[in-house]
Structures are given as C-alpha cells and as structure tokens.
C-alpha cells in the first residue's frame, strides 16, 4: 500500500468514526433494547400489595394540592377554571374536558397521589381507567386500571410512559384507592440550553417500589421519542384526561431542596500534627471505662490505632499531645498526661457524650 493510499484510508476511517459519534446517528435514544410500546416485552410480575392505612396525611412542610374540598389551585390548560368535578371528596376526570394543571409550578418534588380506577369496568388495554400524573406537565407516570388488564408494559400503571415498565404490577382492583409516591428530580440544563443531566424518577405504587431512580431520556408521549428541549426549572403538575372517569384525592407534595453544585460545604477538620513514633509509643496500652469496656491503643509504624467496642481498628490522628481525633469522624480522645507526658487516661468524646477512660496497664 502506498503512503497516499494509507492516508486516504485513515481519512475514511476518521470520517466514519466521526459519523458514529455524531448525535442521532446510528444510536438509540432509549437505554433499553425494547421498542416503545412493544407488546412482546415481558410483563412485570404481579405482586399484591399489603393493605395501607389511607388516606396518608401530608407532613408539616407539604404543599397540599387537593384535600377533597375544592379545586382552588387547579386550572385548565388555557388558565381557566378547573374543568374537572369534585364529588365525595375526590376530583374526577371529566371525559373530553382536557388536562388539569396546578396554578403553581414545581421542580424537584416528593409527590403523594391517591387515585382509583372507575367502576363499572369499561374498555380494555389503554382504554381502561387511563389517566396520568405529569411531573412538570411533561413527564408522565401512567395511571391505568392494570388489574387483570393486559397492555404493553411501558404503558401500564406505574410505568414511566413509553420508557420504563414498572418493576412489578402492584395494582389494586378498580374502585379501590391506590397510592403513588413519587420522587422526581427535574432535568438540568446549561445556560445555553443544552441538557446537563436528565430527569430522574422513583415511584412507589401501593407501598411497592416500581421505578428505581430511572433516568428519563426525554419528555414522555404516545409514539413520541422526543429529546429534551430547554424548559424552565419549575412547571405545573398536570393530571391527564384520557376520556375515563378516574378519581383522584389527597394530593400533596414536598418541594425538595435542589442539590447545590458543588455539594454542601463541609467544615474543614482541624489540622493534624505529626508526632514522632517515640512519643506515640507512650499512648500505646490498655484503658478501661468505669463500666468495664476496654480500649486498646497500639502503635503501627508512624501512627496509633484504637480498638474498642468490637469495631475494626480506627486510626488516631493527633492534633496535639492531648487531643487525638478518630480518623474521618468528629469523635476525639482528650488525654490526661502525667509529668513525663505519659497518658493516665482520656475522655472519649462523641456527639454530646463524654466517657472517662482510665489507663490499666
Ligand atoms: Mg395516561
């Protein structure tokens, strides 16, 4: 092969590898091997949930979105009055009325929703008790009567619609109140609109984990495989009108603190000092608390280790000749020294607790 041929071959290979790396070329947006709405996909196993004590009362810091008394805080898609009706403490999807949106917008949340599929049972597959809980109006946790009602797995109750089937089918019979507890982390975007990190979702259905911190690859939708596009940090929560009179009650959420980047600032540990092995050797020995717990301190090369309460040995980090920290912790040993600098005992300090420990060897 001539040099020019070799160069041309390298150029062709380089352009091919560039094409393979280019976004959207030859790669699926889905993390799964399955096509969206694939009816061949294995059905999640059925697990009967244990009875729960309902309704689940909102904690002190919750934003109560629906307590059974009215539709304040909800509106139509156009911003008009809420188009659903309230009956017996529940709000009911009015077929063909449109989606329901919260007036307030939310980002990262812990969300509690109780819902019940309609009785009498009508329809089948996606036509039976279909609704949905849309985080940020874009990311749907499917609501469906999935009790003895087969459908494609990424569209059954507890699915992140079109993306992730639930881990198990934890559905209760239609007419019975069911719970969703959802932890949602919104997608993050760079200032120029590019995605920084995808949305993540954990879902517990009737007390059973059905989504385990899954990463969404974009907004959910029927036959849609849309990538993320930039959107605000907070958007309304929405409930779907899919033409079935699904009931909802006791809806509340807790707004979660967003993780600051970088992480929380940790108070720096006080500086360690260096003590010569001959000095450290003075601390080696056996010590005992008044109630008989033994502490053994021993020298290993250039550092001390303590053994007590059947814990693995812990390194002692000197801050002075009187104060040693247990490495990685805020616990300390505060030594009493005699005239020759030899320890006669110490105070073991952890949290607000101070335990006197005397030397016994
Ligand atoms: Mg739906």
For 257-292, write each residue's pLDDT tens digit: 986 555 566 777 889 999 999 999 999 999 999 999
Same domain? 73 vs 141? yes
Same domain? 140 vs 11? yes
Element (H, E) at 298: strand 294-300
| C-alpha 132 – ligand 1 centre gap (Å) | 4
Q: Is residue 262 part of a domain?
A: no
SS3 356: strand
State yes or no: pLDDT of 26 exceeds 70: no
Nearest Cα neighbor of 132 from 250, 246, 239 is 239
Same domain? 313 vs 241? no
| C-alpha 99 – ligand 1 centre gap (Å) | 11
161: domain CATH number is 2.60.120.560
Q: Is residue 226 part of a domain?
A: yes
| C-alpha 37 – ligand 1 centre gap (Å) | 13
Q: Is residue 268 part of a domain?
A: no
Cβ-count burial 323-347 (b if 16+ within 10 Å, e if not): bbbbeeeeebbebeeeeeeebebbe
Same domain? 67 vs 184? yes
Give me the sign of the Cα torsion angle 141, 144, 146, 151. negative
Same domain? 159 vs 216? yes
HSE-up (13 A, CA, CB side) for residue 25: 9
| C-alpha 305 – ligand 1 centre gap (Å) | 59
Supply the mean pLDDT for the chain: 90
HSE-up (13 A, CA, CB side) for residue 273: 11
Q: Is residue 317 part of a domain?
A: yes
Which pLDDT does position 96 carry in this prediction? Answer: 86
| C-alpha 233 – ligand 1 centre gap (Å) | 23
The whole-angstrom separation of Cα 214 and Cα 95 is 31
Q: Could you tell me the pLDDT band of residue 22, with boundaries at 50, 70 and 90?
A: very low
pTM exceeding 0.95: no
Q: Is residue 260 part of a domain?
A: no
Phi, psi for 188 (deg, rounded to 5): -110, 140
The whole-angstrom separation of Cα 158 and Cα 168 is 9
Same domain? 335 vs 193? no
**Looking at the 3D structure of the chain, how many domains does it have?**
2
Which pLDDT does position 118 carry in this prediction? Answer: 96
| C-alpha 144 – ligand 1 centre gap (Å) | 7
Which pLDDT does position 62 carry in this prediction? Answer: 98
Which pLDDT does position 56 carry in this prediction? Answer: 95
Tell the burial category of 288 from Cβ atoms under 10 Å away from its Cβ (0-12, 13-18, 19+): middle
| C-alpha 240 – ligand 1 centre gap (Å) | 6
| C-alpha 53 – ligand 1 centre gap (Å) | 26
State yes or no: pLDDT of 140 exceeds 50: yes
| C-alpha 162 – ligand 1 centre gap (Å) | 10
Q: Is residue 265 part of a domain?
A: no
The answer to whether the beta carbons of residues 265 and 259 sit under 8 Å apart is no
| C-alpha 221 – ligand 1 centre gap (Å) | 9
Nearest Cα neighbor of 210 from 183, 238, 248 is 183
The whole-angstrom separation of Cα 357 and Cα 350 is 13
The whole-angstrom separation of Cα 306 and Cα 289 is 14
Q: Is residue 59 part of a domain?
A: yes
325: domain range?
277-359
Q: Is residue 95 part of a domain?
A: yes
| C-alpha 256 – ligand 1 centre gap (Å) | 25
């Amino acid at each position: 092969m001539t040099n020019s041929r070799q160069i041309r071959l390298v150029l062709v290979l380089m352009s091919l590898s560039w094409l393979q790396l280019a976004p959207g070329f030859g790669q699926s947006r889905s993390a799964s091997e399955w096509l969206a709405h694939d009816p061949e996909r294995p059905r999640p196993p059925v697990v009967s949930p244990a009875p729960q004590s309902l309704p689940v009362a909102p904690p002190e810091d919750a934003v109560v979105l629906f307590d059974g008394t009215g539709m304040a805080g909800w509106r139509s898609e156009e911003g008009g009055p809420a188009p659903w009706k309230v009956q017996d403490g529940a709000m009911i999807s009015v077929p063909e009325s449109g989606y329901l949106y919260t007036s307030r917008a939310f980002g990262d949340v812990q969300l509690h929703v109780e819902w019940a599929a309609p009785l009498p049972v009508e329809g089948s597959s996606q036509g039976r008790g279909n609704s949905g809980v849309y985080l940020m109006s874009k990311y749907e946790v499917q609501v469906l009567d999935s009790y003895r009602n087969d459908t494609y797995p990424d569209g059954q109750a507890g699915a992140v619609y079109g993306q992730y089937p639930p881990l198990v089918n934890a559905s209760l019979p239609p007419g019975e109140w069911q719970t969703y507890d959802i932890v949602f982390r919104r997608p993050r975007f760079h200032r120029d609109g590019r995605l920084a990190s995808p949305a993540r979702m954990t879902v517990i259905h009737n007390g059973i984990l059905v989504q385990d911190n899954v990463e969404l690859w974009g907004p959910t939708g029927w036959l849609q495989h849309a990538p993320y596009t930039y959107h605000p940090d907070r958007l309304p929560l929405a409930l779907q009108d899919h033409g079935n009179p699904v009931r909802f009650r006791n809806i509340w959420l807790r707004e979660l603190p967003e993780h600051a980047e970088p992480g929380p600032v940790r108070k720096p540990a006080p500086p360690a000092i260096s003590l010569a092995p001959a000095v450290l050797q003075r601390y080696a020995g056996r010590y005992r608390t008044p109630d008989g717990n033994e502490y053994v301190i021993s020298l290993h090369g250039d550092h001390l280790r303590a053994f007590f309460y059947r814990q693995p040995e812990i390194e002692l980090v000197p801050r002075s000749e009187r104060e040693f920290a247990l490495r990685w912790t805020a616990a300390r040993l505060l030594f009493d020294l005699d005239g020759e600098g030899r320890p006669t005992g110490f105070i073991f300090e952890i949290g607000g607790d101070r335990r006197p420990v005397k030397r016994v060897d």
